[in-house]
Structure 1
Amino acid sequence: MARPPLSMQPTGWFQVAWSAEVDVGEVHRMKYFDTEMIAWRSADGRVAVMDAYCEHLGAHLGFGGHVEGDRIVCPFHGWEWNHEGRNVCVPYENHPNKGRRIRSHPVVERNESIWIWHDTHGRAPYFEVPDVFTGFDDGSTAADYYPAYPQSTLFRQSLELHPQYIMENGVDFAHFKYVHKVPITPTFTRQDFDLPVSYVDFTIAFDDTAAEDIRSGVQAINAGLGAAVTKSWGMIDNRTLSAVTPVDENTCDVRFSVWIGRQGQEHPKAAERAQRLAQGVIDQFEADIHIWSHQRYSDPPALSQKEFDGFRALRHWAEQFYPTSTEGRVPLEH
């Protein structure tokens, strides 16, 4: 991939694991934002995510560190650290080391997923991770859908793409015929980019469908550049969550989760059918990934007149999440 002129350190919420991957007492290793990290779950079920190295002599807590109650214990000298990364015990001293702290990250668990807040300026979270059920204010709950993890998820590691590519896909009405091989024409009914959490809705019709006969569409909620949830209506009842998290300056991990709605009285093979439907949604998402992971960021892009407003609005919205100024960049042109 030609490296885009966009920072790989955007502000926002980013998925670092699925909840089921970090059981009580487990320590989970990972690397995001060019930083070695660990996630661990204490006895009371709470998840912590922090930088991986002990502040004492630098042992990696993901290699031999273990959880005791509400603390993680270093394998090297037994120093104990709490959820906030504060030292609470030096086993061969009478008091902890209050002067050192392992950097910890704000954490939210939602929709079977673990999210961390990332901000290079150290600001506290100022918007929330959207909920794939309650976010659409239609009374739906997780009980109305089959769980996503693990059977209805996708995880692709270290892909050469950027989180903004996925967000731009949400305003790209023209790619459906060519990437997804479907003769449909999305029509946008909402593109609201006024706040850090944005909203994009569109209806879907086949090419020969009269306007009055449109009976399906998609609603999307985008929280920063790291999280997007969708609700499909009038088609297969499904909700999706796409999450793109920078690993380093060149690559990202992509996670995608699909929930298929339960339909009243379930027959014995209903769960199998739901999994097949979810796989169909995942297959379509993989077709997008194939494009994104070989894409060059075009700035300014050669947009058609119909594309211009959507892409301009989204790219202007995206600028707020980058730590460096975008002054002097070439504006979008027709």
Structure 2
Amino acid sequence: MKSLVKQLLRSRAVRRHTAAPADRLHAPTRPYPNGWFCVAFSDEVRPGSLTTRPLMGGEVVVYRTRAGLLRAVRPQCPHLGAHLGVGGRIDGEDIVCPFHKFAFDPSGACVRTGYDLPPPKASLTRYPVREVNGSIYVWWHALGVPPQWEVPVFPMDGRQPFSHDTFDIAGHPQDVIENAFDWGHLPALHGLRDLVIEGSPVAGEPIATVTATARGTVMRRIRQSYTLTVIGLATIAARTRLPRDAGNLYVMLHATPAGPGRIHLRFGTKLELTGPPGLPEPIGRAAALPVARLLSSIAQRVASVDTGADLLMWHHLEHVEQPKLARGDGPIGRYRQWARQFYSEPPGGPTAPVRRSAGPPAVADGDGHPNGTADGHPNGTGEGMVTGDRAADRSEV
């Protein structure tokens, strides 16, 4: 499924209306939010590789040294401004500029030049980066404030990867994360029935939890249980318990601003099976891994079709600042009050300036994630929530 959104946009219903993406019709009405934002899944940045990702109108180069240390840096070399992501390479533990072959160690310091002369006192601009739950997050704050909180770690089996896709759509992350509290759209858009939902965000807390039970469109006779963990204005992590304690279905939804009015939506699915009965859990999980990986890939395709309906809504949505809410909508008003803590200026204020090459504002960067994952190898955390076994499939609308 290489172009899910394009397939949906080519459907009959959409062709009849020929609606334009939201970012073509009006300028963004809200600035970029502050917080941790996913720029890649763990398997997309392997040891000895680097990649360039858009973030808040700028760019970030994310790389992993041969030993597995993860780093996120400003793309421009401090020497003469070459782009490290265009021809740059990893040499052992150093990242090497493609222009004059200046090398920078994991601390960001220049350690050698390309012509065997002493290096200048120069350093790369590093950004706070965390590898949590199989996802790579970079901290962004409009005022350059260092990280104020951490991404929670989920107790998952790091041996099993996630299947995942990435979509480039119009939208703002606040509207995507609002889905966790827009309970009215669950029966209307997704066909869920007999909903029982609890939970709303707590003022001042960057993490929120929602629990729910419902009957779905596929398993109508089975009542499913869900737990949603909302992480800032960036991530919805969902967990569904399988019937008869057969395991858990995990879904990760990341909404990362790429530029004004545009987001990269990363969507991953993983089915964890407990394994054959009678076996100790670690052994049972290991025995079930091949089947679990296959079923995860199938589940990703099925879930992507369901999520595709949301993608179309977000892609064409115009944010209503003062909505006319109805009974059954869920705690949308409370969510929007909660969301204000992630802005350095009022949500209705001007859009943050576009940084086409500078990337996020420079902030203090530390190596010490409290769970020891900041510098870890992708399999070193034991928490591989979204470590897909294939590269993300980027579909642009």
- The normalised TM-score by structure 1 is 0.83
Match of 1:105 among 127, 131, 152: 127
Deviations 1:61-98 (A, max 9, x none): 11221212221111211222233433233455764333
Q: Distance in 2 between matches of 1:86 and 1:29?
A: 20
For residue 60 of structure 1, give the secondary structure of its aligned residue in structure 2.
coil
Deviations 1:189-213 (A, max 9, x none): 2223230111122222479xxxxx9
- 2:61 pairs with 1:61: no
- 2:175 pairs with 1:165: yes
Cα pair distance change 1:101/1:10, threshold 3 Å: farther
Query: Shift in Å at residue 160 of structure 1?
Result: 0.6
Letter in 2 for 1:155: T
Match of 2:94 among 52, 56, 71: 71
Match of 1:190 among 193, 199, 223: 199
**Equivalent residues in 2 for 1:222-261, closer than 5 Å:** 222-233=230-241, 237-261=248-272
Name the counterpart of 2:58. 35
Q: Distance in 1 between matches of 2:54 and 2:348?
A: 31
Name the counterpart of 1:6. 30
- 2:359 pairs with 1:325: no
For residue 191 of structure 1, give the secondary structure of its aligned residue in structure 2.
coil
Query: Shift in Å at residue 178 of structure 1?
Result: 2.7
Name the counterpart of 1:315. 336
Letter in 1 for 2:195: P
Name the counterpart of 1:279. 301
- 2:139 pairs with 1:121: no
Q: Distance in 1 between matches of 2:115 and 2:297?
A: 53
Q: Distance in 2 between matches of 1:31 and 1:187?
A: 38
Letter in 2 for 1:190: G
Query: Shift in Å at residue 168 of structure 1?
Result: 0.8
Q: Distance in 1 between matches of 2:102 and 2:289?
A: 53
Report how many residues are paired: 308
Unpaired runs of at least 5, structure 2? 1-21, 277-287, 351-397
Letter in 2 for 1:226: A
Cα pair distance change 1:53/1:268, threshold 3 Å: closer
Query: Shift in Å at residue 42 of structure 1?
Result: 0.8
- Is 288-297 or 107-116 further displaced after alignment? 107-116
Deviations 1:288-320 (A, max 9, x none): 111111111011011013436x01111011111
User: Is the 8 Å Cα contact of residues 173 and 185 (structure 1) preserved in structure 2?
Assistant: no
Letter in 2 for 1:121: L
Q: Distance in 1 between matches of 2:120 and 2:111?
A: 7
Query: Shift in Å at residue 269 of structure 1?
Result: 5.3
Query: Shift in Å at residue 215 of structure 1?
Result: 4.5
For residue 105 of structure 1, give the secondary structure of its aligned residue in structure 2.
coil
Q: Distance in 2 between matches of 1:215 and 1:228?
A: 21
Q: Distance in 2 between matches of 1:90 and 1:328?
A: 45
Q: Distance in 1 between matches of 2:84 and 2:348?
A: 41
User: Is the 8 Å Cα contact of residues 161 and 293 (structure 2) preserved in structure 1?
Assistant: no
Deviations 1:33-77 (A, max 9, x none): 111321111121011111111111111111221212221111211
Query: Shift in Å at residue 270 of structure 1?
Result: 5.5
For residue 10 of structure 1, give the secondary structure of its aligned residue in structure 2.
coil
Name the counterpart of 2:161. 147
> Aligned-pair RMSD on alpha carbons?
2.7
User: Is the 8 Å Cα contact of residues 14 and 116 (structure 1) preserved in structure 2?
Assistant: yes
Cα pair distance change 1:328/1:76, threshold 3 Å: closer
Cα pair distance change 1:234/1:93, threshold 3 Å: closer
Match of 1:47 among 62, 70, 93: 70
Unpaired runs of at least 5, structure 1? 135-139, 208-212, 330-334
For residue 265 of structure 2, give the secondary structure of its aligned residue in structure 1.
strand
User: Is the 8 Å Cα contact of residues 191 and 201 (structure 1) preserved in structure 2?
Assistant: no
Cα pair distance change 1:268/1:97, threshold 3 Å: closer
For residue 334 of structure 2, give the secondary structure of its aligned residue in structure 1.
helix
Q: Distance in 2 between matches of 1:51 and 1:170?
A: 33
Query: Shift in Å at residue 275 of structure 1?
Result: 2.6
Cα pair distance change 1:184/1:103, threshold 3 Å: same
Cα pair distance change 1:269/1:115, threshold 3 Å: closer
Letter in 1 for 2:324: A
**Equivalent residues in 2 for 1:13-32, closer than 5 Å:** 13-32=36-55
Q: Distance in 1 between matches of 2:151 and 2:290?
A: 35
Q: Distance in 2 between matches of 1:12 and 1:268?
A: 36
User: Is the 8 Å Cα contact of residues 201 and 335 (structure 2) preserved in structure 1?
Assistant: no
Identical-pair percentage? 28
